[in-house]
Amino acid sequence: MKKAYDKLTSGMYLVSAKADKEAGCIINTFEQVASTPELVLIALNKDNYTTKQIKKSQKFNVTVLKEAARAEIIQTFGFSSSEFTDKFQSFNKKYDLLNLPYITDDMVALFSVRVKEEIDAITHTIFLGEVSESVLLSDERPMSYAYYKEEKKGITPPKAPSYQKPKQISGYKCDVCGYIYRGETLPIDYICPICGEAKFTKITE
């Protein structure tokens, strides 16, 4: 069933915000909702520090990662909390018209957004907002989420909506009679107690 989710296409984005402190995180959930007015949405985990900064300030910006973006950007903004570090410190940054920071290198477009509505999505908050300004930063190709996963062999942390639990080995199935041995590791020279064969295939769940 989860395989269906692999067919969804999206991009790679960095959402930045500031109320008490500058914060930012990687997302793949940024969508244009309407063009007149220019409405967009993002889905952020309620535990993200960036979410708290947006709730307080009611504004955020989104930059679109270029395909050749450095891995450090994703590592820094996608796998640690802005609460304890200044994620922007090792990158060149500028400020947009909402006075929010954004990274200049590695990005192809910038959207500065004021929040219009917050929608509760159980673990996440969906921020629906109106674009105050959109800026083309570069003509380079944007990075797709598929490119990140397939070409960069990138992983996604549990807080992302697109996170998929890794499959666990739940047992081994006898190739001859279908008997299932439950356990992580099949003992060496294990013989099927039903048909006496020793040919097994790993099963996962």
Ligand X SMILES: Cc1cc2nc3c(=O)[nH]c(=O)nc-3n(C[C@H](O)[C@H](O)[C@H](O)COP(=O)(O)O)c2cc1C
Interacting residues toward ligand X by CB under 6 A: 23, 25-29, 43-45, 48-50, 74, 78-82, 148, 156-157, 159-161
Name the minimum Å distance from CB 20 to ligand X.
13
CB closer to ligand X out of 84 and 184: 84
DSSP letter, residue 8: -
CB closer to ligand X out of 57 and 82: 82
Q: Whose CA is closest to 189, among 197, 198, 180?
A: 198
Name the minimum Å distance from CB 40 to ligand X.
13
CB closer to ligand X out of 48 and 63: 48
Assess contact for 108 and 66: CB atoms under 8 A. Answer: yes
- Alpha carbon 18 to its chain centroid, in Å, reads 20
Query: Can you tell me which residue has the tokens 């039903």?
Result: 194
CB closer to ligand X out of 114 and 159: 159
Q: Whose CA is closest to 38, among 120, 108, 134, 102?
A: 134
